[in-house]
Amino acid sequence: IGLVEVLGQRAPEPRELILINGVLRIVRNHLALLDYGERDTLTGLLNRKTYDEAFYKVMAATMPPAGDQSSDRRADARQQHHFIGVIDIDHFKRVNDTHGHLIGDEVLLLLSRLMRSSFRFYDKLYRFGGEEFVVLMRGGTVEQASTAFERLRTNVEAYVFPRVGRITVSVGFTQLRPGDSPSSAFERADKAVYHAKQNGRNQVAH
């Protein structure tokens, strides 16, 4: 979302409006191209290649600014807990085998919409490929993160998908730790997903 404000001492003349609108079209097209390169084409969620950069930005937010040694800033940084969650659709291969990949794609699209309605607008939502999704949550406690992921799980369980009916998801999440890399944090969350699947699916593990 952006705003361009053009100020002047008088109302613009028609030829000036044409110029202003032309510049805005160029900017809009440029932003659309950038956005297209960062989005999964099916779901519209962020794609995997944007994950690392966002991860390091979140990690940087947990550290006080360089040279700032105040105890208050250090305490604030320690209280800013961030989380990564991995979401996997249970028995998704069965959906594709039974109903075909077109219906499977519709399930992925509808799941992405349920994710948008289940998380805050500033949480980062990704499709990593196949039926695997990732959430990068900024701020909050373990209990709040668990509540958010549980909200998604129940929203998915209650939703009736066209042709398919009801599906479930298994979710694993972990709190980001000092020194984490994008891959190490993801691996911990992925192990939590494996634990959820091994213990009955359709649940959230931490």
Residues annotated as catalytic (active site), given as ranges:
131
DSSP string, 113-178: HHHHHHS-TTSEEEEEETTEEEEEEES--HHHHHHHHHHHHHHHHH--BTTTB---EEEEEEE--T
Torsion of CA 148, 59, 89, 42, to 10 degrees: 110
Q: What is the phi/psi pair of residue 56, to 5°?
A: -70, -30
* Token pair in block for residue 17: 């409006």
CA-based torsion, 188, 193, 199, 205: positive or negative: positive
- 196 with 170: CB under 8 angstroms? yes
Q: How many residues does the chain have?
A: 206
Rounded Cα distance between 176 and 126, Å, is: 17
